[in-house]
């Protein structure tokens, strides 16, 4: 039977359970799934905001937002879209009932156990509804899941992720497929890419020509060759950082800008002030474009 069996709200930073539905199922598969949900809840901070851990009969879905995450155990045949509609509804209800300060100050498990009444009411609504009200946000959530699919995990591997395999090194495989969508490329961003490619090409051409001369005639010019090749590589990486998401983007961006500026200043004499200013200006423009192009903000989901 397709249904939601269990739901809970946890604190993202440490997996502390804040509230949960009081469902008692003696089925062995369900009890094992509860153990894996507990293991997964303590490492939610490692993952994007949506995720699914699928098993043969049961699946875990989670939705993180700010300090909290809502998690649910559903039958594997239960609609993923409807499961995330359910979690979104729980998130809104919990956020309306408790503020960030009370969530952060909670020190014991199930500090908000009274929220169980709301969980049960919403769960019952989603399990029993057949009308349009339960599916009011279906299309919106379906579109968002297409644009930003939930990270996929194997249910059998969630204990291994948390190091809870009791010393046994099981051969589980975890498939993680995070998807990051960047904001659309702007005309100024395209201009910065073109200029960056041009500067990179100029650095490469000058570096190759100088390398041919240095290796044949003047070995003291090796430093200048390196000073041309480093900005070439920096230009390539700046293009990559602008087009694709990468962790620690700000640090990498400033490091690349520093390399371009330092190398061009070192090349004073082989380049005049106008040329140096042009290369540094292009690198600065590219850095600005990288830092201002962020991940897409998520649209509000469904309200059932």
pLDDT in tens, 231-288: 999 999 999 988 887 777 889 999 999 999 999 999 888 889 999 999 999 999 999 9
Terminal C-alpha separation, the chain: 22
Spatial CB neighbours of 261, under 8 Å, sequence gap ≥ 6: 280, 283
Q: Which of 201, 225, 198 is nearest to 213 (CA)?
A: 225
Strand partners, 73: 6, 60
pLDDT at 263: 92
- Asked if residue 45 lies in contact with residue 12, where contact means CB atoms within 8 angstroms, the answer is yes
Q: Which alpha helices (H) appear in 98-133, and where do they start and end?
A: 100-105, 116-128
Encoded tokens for 223: 């430093």
Tokens 């997964």, residue located? 40
Indicate the SS3 state at residue 164: coil
pLDDT at 273: 92
CA separation, residue 250 to residues 240, 245, 258, 292 (Å): 13, 11, 12, 10
**pLDDT band with cut points at 50, 70 and 90 for residue 175:** very low
pLDDT of 163 higher than 90: no
pTM across the whole model: 0.53
Digit-coded pLDDT (tens) for 185-218 = 889 989 999 999 999 999 999 888 888 776 665 5
């Amino acid at each position: 039977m397709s249904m939601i069996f269990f739901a809970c709200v946890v604190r993202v930073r440490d997996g502390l359970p804040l509230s949960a539905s009081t469902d008692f199922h003696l089925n062995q598969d369900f009890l094992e799934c509860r153990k894996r949900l507990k293991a997964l809840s303590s490492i939610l901070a490692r993952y994007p905001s949506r995720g699914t851990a699928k098993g043969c009969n049961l699946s875990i879905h989670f939705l993180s937002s700010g300090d909290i995450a809502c998690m649910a155990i559903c039958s594997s045949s239960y609609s993923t879209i409807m499961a995330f509609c359910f979690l979104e509804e729980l998130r809104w209800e919990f956020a309306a009932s408790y503020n960030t300060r009370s969530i952060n100050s909670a020190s014991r498990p199930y500090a908000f156990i009274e929220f169980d009444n709301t969980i049960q009411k919403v769960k019952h609504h989603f399990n029993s509804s057949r009308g349009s009200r339960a599916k009011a946000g279906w299309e919106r959530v379906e579109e968002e899941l297409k644009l930003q699919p939930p990270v996929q995990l194997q249910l059998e591997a969630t204990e291994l992720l948390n190091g809870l395999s009791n010393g046994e090194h099981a051969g589980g495989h975890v498939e993680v497929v995070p998807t990051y969508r960047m904001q659309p490329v702007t005309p100024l961003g395209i201009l910065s890419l073109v200029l960056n490619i041009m500067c990179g090409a100029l650095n490469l051409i000058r570096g190759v020509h100088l390398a041919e001369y240095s290796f044949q005639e003047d070995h003291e010019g090796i430093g200048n060759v390196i000073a041309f090749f480093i900005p070439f590589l920096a230009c390539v990486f700046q293009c990559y950082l602008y087009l694709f998401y990468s962790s620690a983007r700000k640090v990498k961006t400033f490091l690349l800008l520093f390399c371009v500026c330092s190398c061009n200043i070192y090349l004073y004499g082989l380049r005049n002030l106008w040329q140096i200013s042009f290369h540094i200006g292009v690198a600065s423009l590219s850095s600005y474009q990288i830092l201002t192009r962020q991940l897409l903000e998520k649209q509000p989901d469904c309200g059932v």
